[in-house]
Chains A and B, each alone.
Chain A
């Protein structure tokens, strides 16, 4: 067939153009995302946040045949904590500070880049991080460092609406990937080091209009307000900076809430300080609080509970039970009933000395250490925001823990000043010799000069029925890497050393590894395009994507 003119070409083009229904990510698709494992539709893969994929092309027998398929080099320095989503062969990934890229998931070539220009007033405590986007229909949603939420056309990267949800000059920011539920975009705010008053809010996906907003600190007259003294609640922090989970059957969203402020001076804000360091269960349509469980009342250690709520249905003492598993920054692993918030189990997974245990309701028994003495776990916690994984096949819950890591806290009275840090003192990491290098928030040097004596990482495969580790995989350096498990019983994870490991999810045996050269501070994902399964991970400033040799 000959093409005679441009008009014919256009007609032919229209005829050949597939109807892009597959690009429309409906709510129903997200609900059933576990059934289309070729895609990775949300930050945590599915609403249950198990980070478990049914893909099994890569398995224990062939994982050593993985080879690098493509790399994408970020041009922006700093920790790259973003998690991509993958929709029908297209990957959407953010880079610092608030760029979104649409990438061919097979070749790594870029279709478009959207760049959000942040207000100069934007301020974040711990790096210009962004952890990714959400999608609904043909729109992507991103939160920004200057506390905006932006809707972006997934096809061409053009902004569709852009709203400010908090005052960046007061320290409000968004670093988490939004969570889409039904027709709404749910977002929480960071700023726990700036004396914000945290909240999670829902916005209409089409217009950006606010539908509801629930503060994480109750106002006067609201239940829980009595856990704050005087006007402490106005600047009490309790941010939400990690994506929550959703149970459609119970119609509940779950959110981990961060530290109270000022961070390290608990005596300055007497009371339990609800709902800081808690998990809150919110109605996705109204934002109404259905239940809460507070892990660390009156926290003086910065034990944010911003971990990903991982949902699973398991057999618990002979009965089917809808549970939530939670390895907390405070060093305890918890199992809760996610319908009611009932405490089912809590066991320490690292050395804990700020508390001597949990009572029958899961409330910690405090044992504050004398001044100048080390507190275990240290300020970065026994674990932190690093996304865990749960494999229904093994029944194990996998997460990155920091062992032998402690901090000496120095609380001080702090005065709240708008937009300034509101910390309540400081801390130092315990080292074997005075002035020796210590673990910092991230790794910016290829030499591990703090060594494992200041703290080291371990992958813990936790048995949720007992609260005991089924196995551990030790690393010399600490790890801020999340986890990915697959139906073929593989566990993929990284760490600050830049090693990307594939472990046998059943027993922790190392099956394959690649040295990628810089810290892995996100969770790997997997997807499939044209019959090939890929595993993508970010190390340093580079996304590396692997598949089996052809």
Chain B
């Protein structure tokens, strides 16, 4: 059982009105040492401060400018390589070639007109029912390359079908088809296009090898054959003229010229073609 006075004193104590609290407060005045305060406050500051790491060179500092510079240099190099790529930009030779092709077309057109008039006036060809249906090859373009080698050749326009004209004699009998011969002759001509040039070159080499093999099988090569074989540009000129005759529908004249060419230059691939086509003996 509690003393009522104790209860009253305790309630007074809880209310803050007690001699006990006052007496305790009189001597309770100790403080922690200042160095302890400093230590604790420093720890508190250190705990919430962001970690201040010593300044050191970060490898990423130079990465951005170097990346930008490298990107600019590479982009500039790429653009320059595209702009000044020789395979993309037409060279002077190619520009000159195009000009010459245009001039050649114009010259051929002019030269073809009197030739056609002359043919028409001399011997008009008999009417051929299938001529129009068969179609005609487009006029060959005369290409002359400069800088590499000076040669004039005839070549059909790209995509143009080879001539398939049938030669009919006066009696109406059909003679041998010159289309295959013409195609083989055209195959000898170099092409402006790289692929076509390569194919023509391969074809020419094959034929030359065949001719050379034929000569070897026959006998030792005579000096005339070797001279003919070495005279490439002149022979090509003549073949070009022959092809031009074909293109001008002067077939008989072309065959005569080819026959003459083949006999004068039996070692030339065109001659071999002609001999194979015509069956003439060399």
Q: Do A and B bind?
A: no
Which residues of A approach B to under 8 Å, CB–CB? none
